[in-house]
Amino acid sequence: MRSSSNILSHNLGELELRVLEALWQRPHLDARQIHEALCAQTPPRRTPGLNTIQSTLERLFRKAYVDRIKQGHAFTYHASVSRGNLLGRMLGDVIKLLHDGRMETILSSFVQVASDLDDASLDELEALIRLRKSQQSDAGVGGDQDD
């Protein structure tokens, strides 16, 4: 069951996403190489330590976002979910939560999702807009900037 603070099922922390981003850019890295990649991206004081990276990788492995292969004494990691796939699932969650009304007060969507408008209703609305446009043209109104 989702906790109330983890509204998205694909709930990932900021560091977990940064580690995944590093693996999407260069797969099959070990913890030390990921640490170096993050150091190169951010100022040293904001880069987490190697132990933190290792525990983050362990969490991602348990959540099945990364796979690992043992090479010598160390593991190398690669993402088991693509960037587009993860984003698609997160957007799917947002759409479902908007539909349930659980996201209504967290984000504003240009057009929301629900259940009572079919193509015929959209056609009717479009016909209404066309009618209004032609009425304006007939009345000699120069463009709908003047509505």
Partner 1 sequence: MINTLGTLCLIWLVLWLVLTLILRGLYPLIRSTLFRLHPAHGSVLLLLLWSAPFILSLLATSLLLVPTFGGLLLAPHCHGDCAPHVPTTSTWVLVWSGFTLAVVATLALSWHFAQSLWRGIRMRKQFDALSSRQAGYRLLAASEPAVFTLGWWRPRVYISTGLLGGCSSEELAIILAHEQAHRKRRDNLRLLLGRVFCLVLPRVWRQSVVHDLHLLCEQSCDFVAASRYGSLSVAQTLVQVGRVLRRSAAPLQGVAFDGSDLQSRVHALLRLDSRQLLSRWQIATLFAAAGLAVLLAVEPLHHGAEWMIDVLEHNMPLAHL
Return residues touching partner 1 (CB under 8 A).
4-5, 7-8, 11-12, 14, 17-18, 21, 83-84, 86-88, 90-92, 94-96, 99, 101, 104-119, 121-122, 125-126, 128-129, 132-133, 136, 143-147
Of 28, 27, 49, 51, nearest in space to 39 by CA: 49
Residues sharing a CB contact under 8 Å with residue 141, sequence separation 6 or more, in sequence order: none
30 burial (CB, 10 Å; 0-12 / 13-18 / 19+) is buried
Which CB sits closer to partner 1, 78 or 89?
A: 89
**Closest of 15, 5, 28 to residue 59, by C-alpha:** 15
Output 67 or 93, the one with its CB closest to partner 1: 93
**15 touches 48 (CB < 8 A):** yes
Axis crossing angle, helix 31-41 with helix 14-25, rounded to the nearest 10: 100
Helix axis angle for 50-62 and 14-25, nearest 10°, is: 90
- For residue 118, the minimal CB distance to partner 1 (Å) is 8
Nearer to partner 1, 19 or 75 (CB): 19
Report in angstroms how near the CB of residue 119 gets to partner 1 at its nearest: 7
Q: Which is nearer to partner 1, 18 or 68 (CB)?
A: 18
Q: Which is nearer to partner 1, 32 or 102 (CB)?
A: 102
CB of 36 to partner 1, least distance (A): 19
Q: How far is the CB of 35 from partner 1 (least distance, A)?
A: 18
Rounded to the nearest whole angstrom, what is the least distance from the CB of residue 95 to partner 1 in the complex?
Answer: 6
